Amino acid sequence: MFRMLSITALRAGYARAMTVRPDPGPTFWSRARWLLKAGPADYMLAMSVASASLPVVGKHLEPLGAATAMGVWGYRHLPDFLGATAKSLLSPGNAELKKQERDSTNSVTEAALRGIVPAKDLAIEWPAPERTPPLWKLREQRRSVYRTSVRYGPRPSQLLDVWRREDLPAEPAPVLLFVPGGAWVHGGRLLQGYALMSHLAEMGWVCLSIDYRVAPHHKWPAHIADVKTAIAWARANVDKFGGDRNFVAVGGCSAGGHLSALAGLTANDPEMQCELPDGSDTSVDAVVGIYGRYDWEDRSTAERDRFVDFLERVVVGRKIAKHPDIFRDASPIARVHADAPPFLVIHGTGDSVIPVEQARSFVARLRAASHSVVSYVELPGAGHAFDMIDGARTGSMTTAIGLFLNQIHRNRSLIKAKKVI
């Protein structure tokens, strides 16, 4: 009995792991080809997805699939991470270089905002570098959480936290919807974006931090569908928490940076929001991408080739050679257009997970096409997830984002006031 259940579960896991949209289902030959080409990671993913489909206990086993997928992702990026770490440790004079990079953070950030943010707003005392990681301030930061686990859609995972001050003024506050990262296999609110949201909440903003569906149990495009659902919810409901439905920005880190950029560039695209009622508003007023991945097509380097392979096996479940449109449509760099909203892109030169060239190429494409403001902050020496582990740069980043978003909000308010007059 157990053996039959295992075989049935494995087949079910395979079928769910290899499809994005409903289709006639895998044939005998497609199963045979998959079994011949599959490696240990593929079998582990199929079994983890299958276990989640079991009655009663299945929903409690979903985290195993995310852990397996994260392990596959980590294994593929391990060579780059180890190489970067070894270079950092063994290079002569590296300690002095790191100090110079840390000390230049505020000046580099201020220079990047010059011409976008007024000089008087930049003439502030920028945060001093801190030795302690931002994660050590979790309890202090979470004081800005106003309401937890608010439902933004009908699915169990469609939940968000509201961050805001208790004494928010009566006038509606601008809104930032924060999308956490996690390699498209983890999309939880825990730990991510705390420094940024607590800073914005103190400035009088309302922040919404969301959970969303992730692979391998939910294939692409479930991720972006949930982000779009959250934006539509904010446009219709955030006033209940003191937010301004007429000003909603979106931002995120890593995979969340990708999803935020894609959401900003595909406003009201029916193919991206097929789960929403007609007429749902998924436009945003600004986008903040923090060490995001903006290209799902490019295989020109060993690192990019490994990344696309990970997408094929874990996130999308389709081969790019047979379904190039799926990967192109999911690439923010391929969706750039003249009417894009204002963008702030932040990336570190020491990022070994998503190399800084990704951000540079994306910003160059945006600046060439968009009529809106495009600001780019390149932090010397900053690595991936620096906003959680690097106290020397996090304060500067949150300050820069606050200045940028406040200026975009101020500009929008002036434009609306002129239209009324």
The tokens 């011949």 sit on which residue? Answer: 36
Read off the pLDDT of residues 14-36 as tens digits, 9 standing for 90 and up.
333 333 343 344 455 544 444 44
Read off the pLDDT of residues 108-122 as tens digits, 9 standing for 90 and up.
999 999 999 999 999
The domain defined by 95-295+331-420 folds into: Rossmann fold (3.40.50)
Domains of the chain: which residue ranges? Answer: 95-295+331-420
CA 291 – CA 357 distance, rounded (Å):
11
Q: What is the mean pLDDT of each run of 10 residues along the chain (421 residues)?
A: 38 38 45 48 44 44 49 54 49 76 94 96 93 87 95 96 94 97 91 96 98 94 98 98 98 98 97 92 98 97 93 95 98 98 97 95 98 97 93 96 98 74 53
Q: Provide the annotated active-site residues.
A: 254, 351, 384
State percent of the chain over pLDDT 70. 76
pLDDT at 5: 35
pLDDT at 207: 98
Among residues 258, 192, 184, 260, the alpha carbon closest in space to that of 222 is found at 184
Q: Kindly report each contact of residues 134-137 with a partner whose C-beta sits within 8 Å and lies 24 or more positions away, as own/partner.
A: 134/194, 134/195, 134/387, 134/388, 134/389, 134/390, 134/391, 134/394, 135/191, 135/388, 135/389, 137/194, 137/195
